[in-house]
Structure 1
C-alpha cells in the first residue's frame, strides 16, 4: 500500500493538488469541458479501445521491449541498467502513443483540423502520422530555431502531408510554438482540436496524454515481473513537459520500493540562465492555461530557457509533476548539456543504440547513479526516443 494519497488525479476540476485546472476564458472552458466529456465517453467504448489496441500492436509495434544494457552496466559497475525501448516505436519515440489517441478522439468528435506545436519534432511527426492514418488535416507550429536544428523531422512532417508553420517570434523555440499554435486554434475551437504534445495545458490534456502514455509503465511492470519476478529499484525519465515520464511513472506510483526520478535539463549549468530546470529552480505560477512550476523573469514573464534537447526547452512542466514534486513521491534531478552529450555517445558506442538527446538526459542520470548502487539493483531508463533527428547536429557539434 502506498504511503501517498493518489485518490483522484486529477479531480473533477482538473487539479492535481493545487496544480492544473483551466485558467482560460469562459468560452474556451466550455470547449475544453466538451473535449473532456467526449474523451470520458469515448474511451469507455469497446470500439475505441479495440481500434487503439489494434493500432498499438500492429501499427506502433507494441509492446516495446525492455533491454538489458549489459555492456554499459559492466563498464560502469554497480546497478544493472535496463532500457524501455520507446525508440523502437513507429515514428521513433513515445509521442505516437498519445498522438494516435488524440487523432482517434478528433475523428470520433467530427473535428475538421488538428493543430499542435512541436519542439524536437517528434510530436509533430507522430501527429502528422496519426492524422494521415485517420484522414484529418494537420497543422504543426514549430520554432524556427528548432526547424533548423531538427531538419530530418521537418522533412518527415512535410512528406506526411501536414502544414508546417515556422514560428519566428520570441526565442523561436517551443514556448513560442505553443503560443502560435494556440492562437490558430482559437480561430475556430468548435471545429478544430488542439492536440497538446505533453502532459501540460488546460484540463483535460494533462490527464488525457498521461492516460495514453501510461501504457509504457503498464508494459514495463508486467515485463519486469515476468522476467525478474520483481520490480526495478529505480525508474528514470527525462522531463520537459513530462509526458514520457508520466507514462513510465504512473503504473508504479503506489510502489514505495520503486524510486522514481525525473531528469531535467541543467543546460550550461544551474548557476547560469541557460537551463530548463523548471522543477529544480522554478516556482508555482501560471502558464498555458494551467498552474504549475514555471521559470520566470523578475517581471513575472516566462523565462527564456535553454537545453541542447529541443523537446525539453520549456519554461513550465506538467501539473501532475508539480504535485508529485511537492508530495515527495518523485525526485527531480538535472543533467547538463555536456553530460547529455557524453551519454549520447557512450550508449551509441557501447550498446549500438543512438538515443534522442532528450532521452540521453535520463541515460546520463543512470550512468551517474549506477556506480553508487550494488550490482543486484536495477535501474529502468525510459528511452523515450531515438537519435536519428539529432545525429547530424551532434556530429557537427563534436566535429565527427
Structure 2
C-alpha cells in the first residue's frame, strides 16, 4: 500500500503557503523569510529523510543558531542516555544471524512491528547455526502475550513496569546469590534462575528490547540495568543487546547528528557551538514551554505523540512542513512542501537499526523535490536576505 501510494503521480502542487498552492520558489522564499525573522527556530523529525537531508538540516540550523531534535526524543532517547552512561555490548544483525543460539525479545513484538526480523535472524540458517530456527532458543518477556510470544520456545509474562527489578535480580542470580523474595516482577525465582543459567550457557546470546522499556518510569535507569546485565554476561559467554527502532531512518538521524555535532539528539546551536541537553532541548519540552517561534518539521509523523500543550504551541507559530505527498498532515503549516521519497523517487542512504549504512536506489521517477534540495535552496535564499 505504501509503495502504491508513493507510485501515484502527485495530484497537488509541490508547495503551499497557508493552504494555497504556490510555485516552489515562492514557498522557498517564504520559508527563508520566516526563518530569518525567527529568534529560536526548532528543527524536528529527520527520520523520514536520508543522510543528505539530515546533513542539510544540520547546516541550516547551524547557520540560524537553532535547535535540532530527532524523533528519538519521543522514543529511545532514554536508551541513548543509558548507552552514554554504561556503554553497549553489541554487534551487527549479521553477526546475530550467523552466531546466536539464544535470542530474547524483551518488551517488543517484532512480528507486528518488524515483520521480517524473525525471518532473517531467527528462522534463517547461520554459519554457526546451520539448522536455523531449530538451532535457536527464543524467549519472549513481556507484560502480555503477543504474536511473537506464540512463536517463541518460552514466554515469561512479567508485571508491567517491573523490568528494572528483573534485570537487577538476574544480575544477582548470575553470581550465584539468592533473592530475598520468591517472586520478582511476577516471575518466580526459580524461573528467573533458569533464565540466568540459560543465558550463561548460551554460545552466543542476543537481547532485543522495545521502546516500552525506555518509555517507562526511570526509563534510562531500566535500560542501563539491561546494558550492565549484558556486560556481566560477557564474563561467561558472548552476549549482545540491540534496540528495536521505530520505523524510518531514525538511526540515521542519530548517526548524522553525532558526526555533524557530536551529539545524537536534542542539540542546541544557539551559541554557535553544539550543546547537548536531553529534556532541556527536546522538542516536546520546548514546545510545551512555548519557546520556539518557528518550527521546521522534516517529517511530521510524530506530531500526534506530542502533548496537548506542545500541539497548541505548534498551532500558534509558523510551521514549515516537509513530508511526502501521501503523508497524513497533523498540523496547519504556514508553508508545506511535498517531497520525493528516498529509496523510491531519489537515491540516498539510510542507516539500519544496527547503524549499518544502506544505499537506497531510485525506483520511480518524480517531479517532486527532495527535502535536501528544498533545505539547501532555503539556505541559499537566506544568504540573499
Same fold (TM over 0.5): no
Structure with greater helix percent: 1
Larger Rg: 2
Report the TM-score, using the length of structure 2 for normalisation: 0.29
Highest relative contact order (Cα 8 Å, sep 6+), 1 or 2?
2
